[in-house]
Amino acid sequence: MKKSLIALSVAAALTGLTAASAFAAVPSTATIGVRGGWAHANMDDSAFYEEDDKSGFGYGIYADYNFLSWLGIELGYTALDGFSYDGKSGTALGGNDIMVHGPELAVRLALPLTEDGSDLFLRAGAMYAFSDTDHGDSDDGLAPLVGAGLQWAFTRNFGVRVGYDYYFDAFDGKGSTMGGADSDFGLAYVGLQYTFGGEPAPAPAPAPEPQVQQIEETFALEAGALFPFDGSSLTEDGVAKVDGVVSEVSAKNVQNAQYTVTGHTDRLGAEAYNQKLSEKRAQAVAAELSAKGVPAAAITSVQGMGETSPVTGSECDGLSGNALVKCYAPDRRVEITVKGDVVTQTTVPAAE
């Protein structure tokens, strides 16, 4: 029964450690420390002996090293002292002061709490226990141990550790004058420690800050490439021209784009007629923008300017007939003006 209890306890501790192994301690660090605290004895067999003083004290040194981000190994030397057993019969010896001490080796895994090395930990291993009594030594041997605790780093190097360890069969009186006084021991302790190595990983670079530039670009599309002569319905080539503007704006990744559409005619013909024609052509282009996916709210203005804003100025003066019509071609146009924001580059803020 006793051996089964030991096996189950060790297995439970190792299972907990395995479950915690996905969490990282600070890798490539080593720690040395001293510890001390209250200890208690738990006698397995009370047929011949009773615990006169089952409370004692414990102290020791330890050193551990984290090989991987989650796996560490710990070496130490622990002494448990201050216990006393009395015999319950005439054949059992009275006034037996007991001390257990020895080196120990344990696996340690941690669940981190801070980047400096504070963590919750579990450990499992064994002590090679030497037992001293007033009336002869007991058998020496391996004593399985399990433990848990909290490690808190005040700085990168200095910290404290509090925890509890339990040692199974650390005192074995078999074959000695203390037969029947087999005992387990527990130790609740506080430790002071120093950690070195394992430089902290550099902080991740701050996310680049986008640099936004406001742009305004006007696309002047000649009416001859958009509409049939004297018409206001887009030709296939005209549809392709308008769609090309939308594709170009999208390729430049213009954010919050706003479109204004303005129709213009030349100075030939009646002014009222030219005004109406410019409005219809502007509306036809705006409709194609919507068909291409531009939200209605992004088209902020659709208007016709008729013949009031020519771009040819006086360069056509003195011409007539087909020559004049050809010279006025730049005046017959629909202008699509796009305003919006463009991310031109990213900058990394200077470290503070």
What's the average model confidence in pLDDT over 153-169? 93
Greatest mean pLDDT among 8-12, 139-143, 229-233: 229-233
Assess whether pLDDT exceeds 60 at residue 66: yes
Read off the DSSP letter of residue 331.
G
Q: How many CA atoms lie within 13 A of 325 on its CB side?
A: 7
Task: Give start-end residues of each CATH 2.40.160.20 domain in the chain.
Answer: 2-197
CATH topology of domain 209-347: 60s Ribosomal Protein L30; Chain: A; (3.30.1330)
Our measurement of the distance from residue 246's CA atom to the centroid of its chain's CA atoms, rounded to an integer in Å, reads: 39
pLDDT of 189 higher than 70 = yes
Identify the pLDDT of residue 133.
79
User: What is the mean predicted confidence (pLDDT) over 11-15?
Assistant: 43
* Backbone φ, ψ for residue 152 (5° rounding): -125, 125
Output 230 or 32, whichever has higher pLDDT: 32
pLDDT (tens digit per residue) in 24-55: 456 778 999 999 999 999 887 665 666 667 89
**Rounded CA gap, 251 and 64, in Å?**
58
Predicted local confidence at residue 21, as pLDDT? 35
Mean pLDDT in the chain? 84
The pLDDT of residue 145 is 97
Burial category of 119 from C-beta neighbours within 10 Å (exposed 0-12, middle 13-18, buried 19 and up): buried
State the Cα–Cα distance between residues 74 and 35, nearest whole angstrom: 14
Considering the chain, tell me which residue range(s) the CATH 3.30.1330.60 domain(s) occupy: 209-347
Residue owning tokens 């450690």: 17
Please tell me the predicted confidence (pLDDT) of residue 6. 45
Has domain 2-197 been given CATH number 2.40.160.20? Answer: yes
Kindly state the average pLDDT of the residues 339-344.
86
- Let me know: does 81 contact 36? Beta carbons within 8 Å: no
Least confident of 169-173, 244-248, 250-254, 343-347: 343-347
